[in-house]
Chain A
Amino acid sequence: MKFLQSLGASTISKLTAIGRATLMLVGALVAVPRVKNIPLVIKQLYVVGVQSLLIIMVSGLFIGMVMALQGYTILVDYGAEGSLGPMVALSLLRELGPVVTALLFAGRAGSALTAEIGLMKATEQLSSLEMMAVDPLRRIVAPRFWAGMLAMPMLAVIFSAIGILGGHLVGVDWLGVDSGSYWSIMQSTVDWNQDVINGVIKSIVFALVVTWIAIFKGYDSIPTSEGISKATTETVVYSSLAVLGLDFVLTALMFGIE
């Protein structure tokens, strides 16, 4: 009986949390966007986008380089090192670009969003905003959400492009794959709609999930130092799991059935 009770209680609390998260998102998004809020979005775009740029570019470069190195040692056995280009480009565009960007974004920007909003709640800044008749959903949550939604697909595109250049650096400049075949076989294999656009769609979905989780965990955190640290951890854990799980579903939908 006790087990049943705890099962029911946890189910109810999970469901109400999902309900609160949806209400928060709707409250933040239904609000008509105002021109005077655009500078707020730009400020947040700087915080979540530009400040994540360095880690994204460095990771993209190294992942592209490692893939070229690993791929070369295997492909050269079959005399197929000309296929290095499509291998690097397809795995970056379809999978690694969106997924690794989302994971890094959750660690770099998502955790910061949670901690920031959580601390605003703990120091009662959100309540003071409400007392001044400023809706914190519009003033605090909405700009951060839109900035995250914009920034992550942009970061994913940059990640893939830098990764492909990194693959070129190792594959062509170091290991001696022919530069012409690196690009031309890539061009004949990679399809704009099938590969590039699908990768961007993936990263938009991941952006929605990661930003939403990050903002909600901060907004819904218990306003103590312990509560904020727990919320920050949960942001990273939940959004990483959600990204990896969703990635499988999206891949199955996009590339699974011919």
Chain B
Amino acid sequence: MNKYKTEVMVGFFVALTISALLLLALKVAEQSVATEGDSYTLYAKFDNIGGLKARSAVKVGGVTVGRVSSITLDKDDFTPIVELSILKQYNGFPETSSVSILTSGLLGEQYVGFQPGFSFDGVADLQDGDYLQDTKSALVLEDLIGQFLFNRGSDE
């Protein structure tokens, strides 16, 4: 085995590794949404966040516009505060917008559904750091079943 051929093969090996890493970076773990700097932050208070996790998607009509950056508990009234990081290119949502926690498919993961509200005179746009007032909590299956049983009980 001469030296030249060895070096060529090792170079091929390194190039293959780099292309594999690129494939993993760009194709498999694509990081397009919610990078620092080109996003702004909104806050929403929910009664119950269900199975929502940090890094869950924020969607407007199915289009991912941002991600949940963190979930904390309000120290005063013990309700969860969800921090949403929205891409800068999707700005200008009116203040009357609402957010709800939805599930994609029957068994899918939970995401934040963002419904832009109506925009008319006197309604400002949402700015960085604003709180969304209109929130709908996650559906918890046990609560639903409980309500169903309660309603049946009151019907009879």
B13 at the interface (CB under 8 A from A): yes
Q: Which of B3, B12, B29, B57 contacts A196 (CB 8 A)?
A: B29
B124 within 8 A of A: no
Among residues 14 to 71 in chain B, which have CB atoms less than 8 Å away from a CB atom of chain A?
Answer: 14, 16-17, 19-21, 23-25, 27-32, 55, 57, 64
B107 close to chain A: CB less than 8 A? yes
Which chain B residues border A191 with CB–CB below 8 Å?
A: 29, 55
Residues of chain A within 8 A (CB-CB) of B17 are 154, 157-158
In this complex, what residue of A is CB-closest to B24?
A: A196
Residues of chain A contacted by B19 (CB below 8 angstroms): 161
CB contacts between A and B, total, < 8 Å: 71
Q: Which residues of A contact B (CB under 8 A)?
A: 39, 42-43, 45-46, 49-50, 53, 78, 80, 89, 93, 151, 154, 157-158, 160-162, 164-165, 183, 186-188, 190-192, 195-196
| A42-B7, A192-B31 as given contacts; A154 in contact with B13, CB under 8 Å | yes
Whether the Cβ atoms of A53 and B13 lie closer than 8 Å is: yes
CA distance A43 to B24 in the complex (A): 28
Query: What is the bound-complex CA distance between A93 and B7, given in angstroms?
Result: 29
Residue total for B at the interface (Cβ-Cβ under 8 A): 28
Q: Which residues of B contact A165 (CB under 8 A)?
A: 23
**CB contact between A42 and one of B10, B21, B28, B30 (< 8 Å): that residue:** B10
- Residue on B with the closest CB to A258? B53
Contact A42 B6 (CB under 8 A): yes
The interface bits of chain B over 96-123 (1 if a CB of A lies within 8 angstroms of the residue's CB, else 0) are: 0000000001010000000000000000
Given A39-B3, A42-B10, A46-B9, 12 extra CB contacts under 8 A: A43-B6, A45-B13, A53-B13, A78-B107, A89-B28, A160-B24, A161-B20, A161-B28, A164-B23, A187-B28, A196-B25, A196-B28
Residue contact B29 to A158, C-beta cutoff 8 Å: no
Among residues of A, the one whose C-beta sits closest to the C-beta of B6 is A46
Q: Report whether A50 and B29 are in contact in the complex, using a CB–CB cutoff of 8 Å.
A: no
Q: Which of A42, A89, A160, A183 contacts B20 (CB 8 A)?
A: A160
Q: Are B20 and A162 in contact (CB under 8 A)?
A: yes
CB closest residue in chain B, given A52: B13
